[in-house]
Structure 1
Amino acid sequence: MTMGEGFDLLAGGSDGTSVQVSLELSDQAPTMLRMKVADSAWQEFQASNWFNCLIAARLSLEGKGFLLCCQGARPDVFPSGMLQQMNLGRFAYFLKPGVPLSEDDVVDIFARADISEVASVEDQRVAVFEFFKISR
């Protein structure tokens, strides 16, 4: 398998610690993300698009007590169905309450974010449901 673009990010722990995380995107079908935490072995996450691969990787990190510091882990960032189809979920909208979605609000889900800006997968889901006024 050939790996394409790579990213070096941090993941923050609730105790204030941080760990280096390396991500690599497969440049072939199916959509796959590889993640290496510090000096551990590479883990592979395969899904229908990059955003869903990222969710799987984030859940793995959360199991170790860490939140991944990237735009796709912010509670106010989520891809529309069309963005997921057009670019395999690589880009998502920055959701602003009371403001219609716009191309100006599109972010790369793998771009860096500060630990203060990110949330768990569950907290992101709850925030997105609230933004779109979807009852659980």
Structure 2
Amino acid sequence: MRRLRSEYRRVGTCLDSPVGETRLVVDRAIRLVVRDTGELDGGHLRGWWFLPGDGRPQVYRIELTANGSTYETSGPDMFDALVSLRRQIEPLGWLIALQGSRLDTYPSGMARDMGGGLKVYVMRPGRAATRADLVATLDDAEVAQLATVDEQRAYWDAWRTLDH
């Protein structure tokens, strides 16, 4: 694993804990969609996995830079951090074009606990999700597949009640 303490300083994130193991998970350009108009905009996404090394649980951190502003958040897994980021940008009318932002994707408890929420399942009505349905949370998604956090959660809740 690579130590990225200097990366945290460079992007302005201050960690109050001793240096532990850190891994850069994503550092690339992404697409943002203006929900009302469907217009595409660009942004830059960075995400880290950080294990403090002092017995505290791991932390997943995500940062979006777009239109001259930076939005950052963290969570116990990458999906949780992405949901928190989406809640910050949705009031601005933006959707982030990632697999973890699709209407029909959601992580299982095991994907969150064992895999850090780095993969989500594509949920198909009437069919149980299998390993073949796993996609990377931070991979690109088609604009037509995107949803708000609340829409995604409602779809997941409805999918769980279906016979599989």
Tell me if TM exceeds 0.5: yes
2:139 aligned residue:
111
Question: Residue 111 of structure 2 aligns to which amino acid in structure 1?
Answer: L
2:40 paired residue number:
18
Which of 23, 32, 40 is matched with 2:61 structurally?
32
Distance 2:134 2:96 in 1: 19
Amino acid at match of 1:33: I
Deviation at 1:35, TM superposition (A): 1.2
Residue by residue, what CA displacement relative to the aligned partner does 1:10-31 show, whole Å, maximum 9, x if unpaired?
1111113222121111242321
Aligned equivalent of 1:90: 118
* 1:83, distance to aligned residue in structure 2 (A): 0.5
Cα offset for 1:78?
Answer: 0.3
Shift of 1:61: 1.4
Runs of 4+ in 1 over 3 A off after TM superposition: none
The match for 2:55 is none
For 1:93, the aligned partner's letter is Y
Match for 1:79: what amino acid? P
Q: What's the TM-score once normalised by structure 1's chain length?
A: 0.90
Offset of residue 63 of structure 1:
1.1
Farther-moved stretch of structure 1 (6-15 vs 81-90): 6-15
**Structure 1, unpaired ranges of 5+:** none
The structure whose RCO (Cα within 8 Å, separation 6+) is larger is 1
Unaligned runs of 5+ in 2: 9-23, 52-58
Question: Within 2, Cα distance between the matches of 1:82 and 1:73?
Answer: 19
Task: Give the CA deviation at 1:97.
Answer: 1.3
Q: TM-score, normalised by structure 2?
A: 0.75
Deviations 1:46-90 (A, max 9, x none): 111100100011111111101111111111100000000111101
Aligned partners of 1:16 and 1:119: how far apart in 2? 12
Q: What residue number does 2:102 align with? A: 74
Q: Output the CA distance in 1 between the equivalents of 2:88 and 2:29.
A: 17
Q: Could you tell me which amino acid in structure 2 is paired with residue 24 of structure 1?
A: R
